[in-house]
Structure 1
Amino acid sequence: MLEQVIFFTILMGFLITVLLSPIFIPFLRRLKFGQSIREEGPKSHQAKTGTPTMGGVMILFSIIITTLVMTGKFSEPTVKTYLLILVTFGFGLLGFLDDFIKVALKRNLGLTSRQKLLGQIIISVIFYLVYKQNGYPTEITVPGSNYSIELGWFYVFFIVFWLVGFSNAVNLTDGLDGLVSGTAAIAFGAYAVLAWNQSQMEVAIFSVAVAGAVLGFLVFNAHPAKVFMGDTGSLALGGAIATIAILTKLELLLVIIGGVFVIETLSVILQVISFKTTGKRIFRMSPLHHHYELIGWSEWKVVVTFWSVGLILAILGIYIEVWL
């Protein structure tokens, strides 16, 4: 039964994305929804100008359809199912607006930082209100221990920080062909294992559905990418992985399982702090993946290395929770 659920869920998520892509990518080209590449980025990236973006729409469609169909077949939709869809769709919609402004209205920066942050906070608070209304726990457990901290109503601030933080972290990581697709598949796969271990079938099915969808997207997003997911995909995936961590009560474990996203974000923070305080840069360019490009690594080498680190961290996270 378990093997069937995993196989058919990941297969469905994969196939929907793969079958949609040959239809959707030419459609994006006709609409001239091409990516604009920043001039201050690596020069090698200028060749990517015009590559269709907003491919995250396909990922979102695949995730939602696969989750609803497979949950209905093998389990039963619960409040957690709809919370996962709410955050994923909400953050995806926010990313879609950002992408649309960039590519259709030709405003290169998209939504302003304040607009994006406000949208993220509103979605996070709505999530908290539904979460709290259904009596879900508001403590945080330290990974690998029985020690927990009850936050009470302060938990809303944690939820906002976690959802906003990880949606932006995944967004920052989305800078190389296939980088987020691969690391996200690994992270969601790890949380699928942990959700199954807790007998949270609906959360596990959602996690596997996401893994299947991004693996299908990777077929067209691997170097050289034929399509980018844009903020539509990266913000949705970041919000989704943070929501899964909250619903499984393995929030802090996400720092390990999603370690690649955390490292990428820290590289940006450290770069800004260093430059503002000393006038010097720690890295040749941030996020970190660009630093390795500028020291001579090929794009594919950077991506595979980051995938490998993500896999090691995912295995470590599972080990800490299941066997430690």
Structure 2
Amino acid sequence: MIIFKLTLIFFLSFLFIKLIIKYAPKLGLSDIPNERSSHTKITPTGSGIGFGFAFFVSVILFEFSLFLEHWLVFLAIFLVFVIGILDDHKDTSPKQKILVIFLASLILYFDGVHIESLGSFFGFEIPLGYIAFPLSLIFLVGFTNALNLVDGLDGLSASISIVILSTFLYIGYLNQNDLMIAICLFTIVSLCAFLVFNWNPASIFMGDSGSLFLGFVIAAVALMSLQYIDPVILLYLLSIPTIDTFVVMTRRIKKNKSPFSADKTHIHHILLNFFAKKVKRTVLFLVLTQAIFSLGGLMLALSSKEIGEGIGSTVLLLLFIGIVILSYMIFTGMKRRQKLIEKLAHRRKRALK
């Protein structure tokens, strides 16, 4: 029975995305390349509409009782999904997106999905109390945006999302959390259908309807997982989007630029140059890296309850901070070297002329 359900979900997502590809020009869902794009021709976008609808249809068809029980969670996800659709069709402002995510976060909070504690450090618990909602909001907005920033190469965002969701699926399965299982499993299968079209060379992009939907879904499931794992473990389970956001924003701030300005200094841009413009190789490298982090985080979460508490939490946090700092140094050095090579190549061309 489960195989039949998953197969149907896959084909629903496949069919919806196929329809979007066909009618994308009429719907105004086309991505026109610019100086920051990794593609060179006009490509259909907004396939997030397809796999997002497949997700909601599947939940109502196969988990209707769960849908009724947790309708607030699905309403919150749907609101973010809708603002993503509107952004794909007609660009919405950052303020409108944040407002919708704020409302969705508030809905999740009333259904009990939020951060209650930062964990235990040196034996002292750090409960959040009145600031539980503001911090939950910052996390939801931050990670939703972080996943959007990762969506820069064919297949990258979807593949990393599948790895992360698989980890939370396993956590949900071990703890018999039907909500986590349904959300993760249905999203993963829908994304597999999307990858048929999005693997390099992509015939369609996910658009904001996809990246906002995925980012918010992962962030929401991450908050649900805090019933079973230490908050510090989330840093490892969500490592690639988290590290990329920190590295990019720190570099922009150091250059007196807005941390939200657009450029080509993301980790995937730097690695793409390192791998001689080989998109598949770059994506596979980042996906494998995320898988290693996720597996490591999962082992830390499951090996012992004590490993994520007290001094253990402190060590894990300091270790991750060290990884982030090291990543910043490595990728900043790689970027500088690439710029130097480009300058030398440009000078040689001018000399030959």
Q: TM-score range by the shorter chain?
A: 0.7 to 0.9
Residue 112 (structure 1) aligns with: 93
Query: Counterpart of 2:55?
Result: 63
The CA deviation at 1:38 is: 2.7
Decide whether aligned partners of structure 1 residues 59 and 26 sit closer, same or farther in structure 2, where only a CA change above 3 A counts: same
1:152-167 counterparts in 2 under 5 A? 152-167=129-144
> Using the alignment, how far apart are the partners of 2:209 and 2:20 within structure 1?
14
CA apart distance, 1:193: 0.6
In structure 2, C-alpha distance between the alignment counterparts of 1:68 and 1:203, rounded to whole Å: 15
- Could you tell which deviates more after superposition, 81-90 or 261-270? 81-90
Among candidates 75, 78, 82, match of residue 93 of structure 1? 82
Matches within 5 A, 1:33-48: 33-39=29-35, 41=36, 45-47=38-40
Q: Which residue of 2 aligns with 1:280?
A: none
- Give the corresponding residue for 1:127: 108
Change in CA separation of 1:78 and 1:22 when aligned onto 2, cut-off 3 Å: closer
Deviations 1:117-165 (A, max 9, x none): 222222222322x225xxx675236499997532122111111111101
Most deviating of 14-23 and 59-68 = 14-23
- Could you tell me which amino acid in structure 2 is paired with residue 266 of structure 1? F
Letter in 2 for 1:262: T
SS state of the match for residue 224, structure 1? Answer: coil
Unaligned runs of 5+ in 2: 258-262, 305-353
In angstroms, what is the RMSD of aligned CA positions?
A: 2.6
1:84 to 69, 73, 81: 73
Q: How does 1:1-324 map to 2 (within 5 A)?
A: 5=2, 7-39=3-35, 41=36, 45-47=38-40, 49-72=41-64, 76-77=66-67, 79=69, 81-101=70-90, 110-128=91-109, 130-132=110-112, 139-140=116-117, 142=119, 148-249=125-226, 250=229, 251-276=231-256, 285-295=264-274, 296-324=276-304
TM-score, normalised on structure 2? 0.76
Task: Name the CA distance, whole Å, in 2 between partners of 1:145 and 1:222.
Answer: 46
Across the two proteins, how many residue pairs are aligned to each other? 295
User: How far apart in 1 are the matches of 2:196 and 2:114?
Assistant: 39
Q: Secondary structure at the match of 2:117?
A: strand
Q: Residue 245 of structure 1: CA displacement?
A: 1.3
CA, structure 1 residues 145+52, in 2 after alignment: closer, same or farther (shift >3 Å)?
farther
Contact map agreement 2:120 2:126 (CA 8 A) in 1: no
Give yes or no for contact 2:31–2:44 (8 Å, CA) kept in 1.
yes
Secondary structure of residue in 1 paired with 2:111 = helix
Change (3 A) 1:143 1:76: farther
**Highest relative contact order (Cα 8 Å, sep 6+), 1 or 2?**
1
Q: What fraction of aligned residue pairs are identical, expressed as a percent?
A: 24
**Counterpart AA for 1:60:** G
Amino acid at match of 2:280: W
Distance 2:195 2:124 in 1: 39
Gaps of 5+ in 1: 102-109, 278-283
Bigger Rg, structure 1 or 2: 2
